[in-house]
Amino acid sequence: MVLNAITNRKSVRVYNDRLVTDEDIKSILNCGIMAPSWVNVQPWQFVVVRNQEHKDILSQAAGGQKQVSSASAVICCIADMSAWDADKFAKIMEKQGRNSQTIDYILSSTMLNPSLLGEYETLLRTVEQMSYAIGYMTLRAEELGIGCCIVGAVSNELTTKDKNTFVSIKEMLGLNEKQVLLSMLTLGYEKEFMPVKKSRKDFDEVVSLEKLGSKF
């Protein structure tokens, strides 16, 4: 089943008017929430946007990409760097049953706690965790027969130097300084079926045995 979803998934950018139900959106989100993350920190927030005016604003922030405004719903995927704050991070670890000695060790290790290294490292690690959640959501959407497209070309802290261009988007979504609109997942039913075309690098170009360049 997973193989089917991986093989058949493609970016869908043109949708018909059929509504994607809240139930299906919740099922997609639940798959994202199930994703693994670093010490289970789960540094993500998701904001579901249905409102047409808001979708239009998000589309503009994504350089006018039409799949954002025409989607039945848009899942805004928020990289939440505040999840690494010591109190929040410790709480998650306590919930998992880790003892205070282990928690103190994790919180004080730069290898395990990127927030000790700085904002850049924290953002990098947060983005890493988000990729799993977003990947899982795309596969669940595929399994439900719902088309989706990841939209990462959006005005945010990673793509735009001038904060003023995205501050209103952050306000609209209720984000704070430590929360970044990383990407959006547009959801809708494909208007006209397009066959899957996987244009990928050859296996041997990206896979090696023991050392890069040695064929597996």
Ligand X SMILES: Cc1cc2nc3c(=O)[nH]c(=O)nc-3n(C[C@H](O)[C@H](O)[C@H](O)COP(=O)(O)O)c2cc1C
Q: Which residues bind ligand X (CB under 6 A)?
A: 10-11, 13, 65, 149-153, 183
Least distance between ligand X and beta carbon 89 (Å):
25
45 has which bridge partners?
Answer: 78
Question: Of the two residues 72 and 183, which places its CB atom closer to ligand X in the complex?
Answer: 183
Least distance between ligand X and beta carbon 52 (Å):
20
186 has which bridge partners?
Answer: 74, 149
Question: Of the two residues 4 and 11, which places its CB atom closer to ligand X in the complex?
Answer: 11
Helices (H), 19-118: 22-33, 52-61, 66-70, 86-95, 100-108
Least distance between ligand X and beta carbon 2 (Å):
16
Question: Of the two residues 115 and 126, which places its CB atom closer to ligand X in the complex?
Answer: 126
Least distance between ligand X and beta carbon 142 (Å):
10
Query: In this structure, what DSSP letter does residue 164 have?
Result: G
Least distance between ligand X and beta carbon 149 (Å):
5
Nearest-angstrom CA–CA distance, 151 and 177:
21
Collapsed DSSP state (helix, strand, coil) of residue 78: strand
Question: Of the two residues 65 and 69, which places its CB atom closer to ligand X in the complex?
Answer: 65
Question: Of the two residues 20 and 77, which places its CB atom closer to ligand X in the complex?
Answer: 77
Residue 122, both tokens: 């924290």
Task: Give, in degrees to the nearest 5, the angle at Cα 153 between 151 and 158.
Answer: 120
By beta carbon distance, the residue nearest ligand X is 152
Q: Give residue for tokens 């998650």.
A: 92
